[in-house]
Structure 1
Amino acid sequence: MYEIVISLYTLGVAVMSLFNDKVKKMWRGEREAFRVLRNSVDPGSRYVWFHAASLGEFEQGRPIMERLRREHPELKILLTFFSPSGYEVRKNYEGADIICYLPLDTYFNARRFLNLVHPEVAFFIKYEFWWNYLHILKRRNVPVYSVSSIFRPNQVFFRWYGRTYSNVLKCFTRFFVQNEVSRQLLAKLGITEVEITGDTRFDRVLQIKSQAKSLPIVEAFRQDYKVFVAGSSWPPDEDIFIKYFNVRDDWKLIIAPHVIGEDHLQQILSKLKGKAVRYTEATPESVADAKILIIDCFGLLSSIYGYGHVSYVGGGFGVGIHNVLEAAVWNIPVIFGPNNERFQEAQDLLASGGGRQIDGYQQFESLINSYIADDSLRKADGDKAAQYVSSKAGATGKILSAVKF
């Protein structure tokens, strides 16, 4: 049954690649992966394989890869992605020796891939559970670890119709999960090689903060103003905070939209009142008197939060909120929309007081007004956010201390 599903999926991807550029990149990348491996794998080297679905999972695996490289320079790292949104952004990442797409999980592809690489250890980040790859790794006695994984009762593994597929979980040598609920759910399937280590993203955001570089354009824009930073925003988010800051001149606004496309950028610009400058077109002189700075490129948001006094993380009125930890680590309050129940860190931030949920414009207006009127309240919420992040650090060390190379 699984092979039939994968075959149908493969056919669907092939057809969609004719009409969608993102799918086309994935389709081509998966087919080119074998050529990349043939040309790059050194048969005399020892490889550790990390697989991340996309960019978010990569960030979770990154602290482990970088610490592994420092502590075991004799090992080489293979990094694979499933999604173009991960591969296209990190294909030149210097922390890995080989980077490519993961070919679709047919038995033939999995066997061919593993015959080329011969990994000594494999790490699958968070949600990746590929039947053929994992079963072949198990048969070859290759240790496989699931990192920063999190499980919920409504997942297929814990439904009556998913019992057969749940056997894929028994291919893992050990699970490093985020919480107690995940441990209990796995125990119901008879899986006991489980350790609650938390999420490696906490280590990653602390690392980003410690290595943050100054951004002269953002510094010239901020000056002595208070700054509201909206990260990974979507149109429903923008309708709320733009409406508010359009009528305030005492704060400046930085918008880093989730989708950086010309149509979306023009849509944002059409809603704004006051001088707005795009980051890629900015100079220190041109942003000095601007009211809004639009970040129209990737890779800056995690550092830009450091220039803010209050943050907003988008997605909570649609697809689900994005990375709240990147903002929280900078000692600033984190605001987000109502679609956050599936995100443990958002729930924890709400409980700690470092995060605030808003359901619409009126709540947003009331909250920001309270922060402006009471600076000590704003700072206290920001400190709670940062304290929460610090309290959850250390997953990377726990994981690597349990893995033998």
Structure 2
Amino acid sequence: MRALNVKDNQNRKVIGGLIVLCAKGVAEGSYFCDQMRLFYDGLILFLRVAVRVGAWFSPKLAAFVKGRISAFEMLRANVGAKPGPYIWVHCASLGEFEQGRPVIEEIRKSFPGYRVLLSFFSPSGYEVRKNYDAADVVSYLPWDTSKNARQWLSVVNPSLVIFVKYEYWHHYIAAIREREIPLLSISAIFRPNQIYFKWYGGFYRRILKKVNHFFVQNDDSERLLTSIGVNQHTLGGDTRFDRVMQIVSQAREINLAAEFSRGSVVLVAGSIWPDDFDALLPAMNEGQAKFIVAPHEISERFLTSMENALKVKHVRFSRAQVTDVSSYNVLFVDNVGMLSSLYRYGRYAFVGGGFREGLHNILEAACYGVPVCFGNKAYDVYQEANDLIAEKAAFAIADSQELRGTIQWLDQPDNYAHASSAARKYVVSRTGATEKILSYCNRLLK
């Protein structure tokens, strides 16, 4: 019986392997992929309807819908007013824009004969960067349909397309490939749980295979792409490191923040949400340190709720005066675009999003040599967070008590010196991704 069980187990493994192989074959087959394309088109249609309904209740979705109503009309007018060969750079949202930004700005320097079209899928990117001066045209990207993709490329006729990090739209990529336009994916990162690496992901693997070249962030992404037969990739790194070092070199003095911080221990809390604020509140009310607090989304309701929870003196940036700002304990930043320069005024930083769906950019603080804390629930998929934790330059905290303990540990001079140096070195050692991408672009455009 024992031998029979072993044989049965072997048979089950063989049969199981054959089933998986057959399933993969079906998934890669043209009929299955055609059915998946129909499902994909149906999903896009469903999302379009859902977003229109949601626009009645959400200002963000309303902006999403409104921005696309006249997208092609504005695109034709803007491209017509600025004719010439275009390089099209697409970013999903503001975070991806920050990764694409150093590449865009180097493109302007290296290829002055080309214009730049910058597109966004999300209103949080478009609304903030619609007047970005390094791009000749900034636009929403219309929904991914065959008709929209053909129309978009007919208007723009780009010489090169660059997608930043994510966003692999089937119809746009298929149309780009059909026109034989080079397509690059930069700062790309892949994980085993993504659909491309599942047995049923054949339709999506075909999308990836139409990309001319991937510049990926890490070794794991290279291995994953190779495992599905996508071999056109280079370990390029993450352009965010180039971007944050660019921020350091271009950081502007903010007189109000400098005066607020002068002679004080300051914690800069950036891109925070209500649950981040809850973790910070006890330390704020102790009054032993000062805090610069920048919400992720500025709303009167959130600002008022934070103000009402405080027992110490506080003021909003828009209402503060340089002459008396030093008398306050908390400075609320009620504007957009200043945060990356504010981290320089902190001895410590707290970056929001770690208690929610995803951690925000911790490199903007680390590049100044500022140790970083964040919530412990949604950070593990971010390579830089794990790396900096390993270096004892970043700290995932569960609540206000752990935050207090972390600050006490950092208050030891040797501990702080190590954390600060490790944070700065980590960022500096990983720069150079932009140079690799531009070198490749140079071969395509000259």
Bin of the TM-score, shorter chain as denominator length: over 0.9
Equivalent-residue separation in structure 1 for 2:330 and 2:417 (angstroms): 23
2:433 is the counterpart of 1:401:
no
Query: How many Å apart are 1:359 and its aligned residue?
Result: 1.8
> Which residues of 2 match residues 299-310 of structure 1 at below 5 A?
299-310=337-348
What's the CA shift for 1:44? 4.8
The C-alpha deviation readout for 1:66-99, integer Å capped at 9, x for no partner, is 0010111110000000000000000000000000
- Render the CA deviation track for 1:20-45: whole Å, top value 9, x for unaligned: 22111111212211011111114851
139-148 vs 271-280, greater mean Cα deviation: 271-280
**Contact 1:157–1:166 under 8 Å retained in 2:** yes
On the 8 A contact 2:287/2:329 being kept in 1, the answer is no
Q: CA deviation at 1:125?
A: 0.5
Higher CA-based Rg: 2
User: Which residue does the alignment assign to 2:267?
Assistant: 228
Letter in 1 for 2:180: N
Q: 1:208 aligns with which of 247, 253, 259?
A: 247
Distance in 1 (alpha carbons) for counterparts of 2:293 and 2:232? 44
- In structure 2, distance between residues paired with 1:257 and 1:376: 32
Q: How does 1:63-212 map to 2 (within 5 A)?
A: 63-212=102-251
Contact 1:203 1:394 in 2 (8 A): yes
Give yes or no for the alignment of 1:269 onto 2:307.
yes
- The answer for unaligned runs of 5 or more in structure 1 is none
Q: 2:96 aligns with which of 43, 57, 75?
A: 57
Any idea what SS the aligned residue of 1:293 has?
strand
The answer to whether structure 1 residue 391 and structure 2 residue 405 are counterparts is no
Q: Which residue matches 1:315?
A: 353
Q: Residue 331 of structure 1 contacts residue 379 of structure 1 at CA under 8 Å; is this kept in 2?
A: no
1:214 offset after TM fit, Å?
0.4
Q: Which amino acid aligns with 2:217?
A: Q
SS at match of 1:238: helix
Q: Contact 2:287/2:312 (CA < 8 Å) preserved in 1?
A: no
Quick check: 1:330 aligned with 2:355?
no
**Percent of matched pairs sharing the same residue:** 43
State which of 399, 405, 410 in structure 2 corresponds to 1:360.
399
Select which of 209, 218, 223 maps to 2:257.
Answer: 218
Letter in 1 for 2:333: I
User: Which residue of structure 2 aligns with residue 343 of structure 1?
Assistant: 382
Return the letter of the residue paired with 1:291.
N
Q: What is the alpha-carbon distance in structure 2 between the residues aligned to residue 174 and residue 210 of structure 1? A: 30
1:376 corresponds in structure 2 to: 414
Match of 2:286, SS state, is coil
Encode CA deviations 1:347-369: one digit per residue, 9 max, x unaligned. Answer: 11112221111122222111112
SS in 2 for 1:284: coil
Are the equivalent residues in 2 in contact too, given 1:332–1:379 (CA < 8 A)?
Answer: no
What is the DSSP-based 3-state SS (H/G/I as helix, E as strand, rest coil) of the residue aligned with 1:175?
Answer: strand
2:317 is the alignment partner of 1:296? no
**1:286 aligned partner:** 324
Aligned counterparts of 2:276 and 2:75: Cα–Cα separation in 1:
42
How do 1:3-22 residues align onto structure 2 when only pairs under 5 Å count? Answer: 3-22=41-60
Match of 2:22 in 1: none
Give distance in 2, aligned partners of 1:21 and 1:364.
34
Q: 1:288-314: CA deviations, max 9, x gaps?
A: 201110111111110000011011111
1:27 aligns with 2:65: yes
Are the aligned partners of 2:348 and 2:371 in contact in 1 as well (CA < 8 Å)? Answer: yes
Aligned residue pairs total 403
1:361-402 CA-to-partner distances (Å, cap 9, x unmatched) read 222111112223x13322320111010000110000011111
Task: Return the offset for 1:165.
Answer: 2.1
Structure 1 residue 159 displacement after superposition: 1.4
* Selected match of 1:247 from 286, 289, 297: 286
In the alignment, residue 81 of structure 1 is paired with which amino acid?
F
Structure 1 CA distance for aligned equivalents of residues 329 and 205 of structure 2: 53
Question: In the alignment, is the contact (CA less than 8 A) between 1:332 and 1:378 conserved in 2?
Answer: no
Q: How big is the shift at 1:248?
A: 3.3
| Alignment RMSD | 1.2
Partners of 1:103 and 1:400 in 2: how far apart? 27
Once residues 227 and 339 of structure 2 are traced to their aligned partners in structure 1, the CA distance between those partners, rounded to angstroms, is: 40
Cα pair 2:284 2:312 within 8 Å, conserved = no
Q: Distance in 2 between matches of 1:27 and 1:155?
A: 28
Counterpart Cα distance in 1 of 2:59 and 2:356: 23
- The normalised TM-score by structure 2 is 0.88
Contact 2:285 2:310 (C-alpha < 8 Å) held by counterparts: yes
Counterpart CA distance in 1 for 2:122 and 2:180 is: 28
Partner SS state of residue 187, structure 2: strand
Aligned partner of residue 269 in structure 1, secondary structure: helix
- Alignment correspondent of 2:31: none
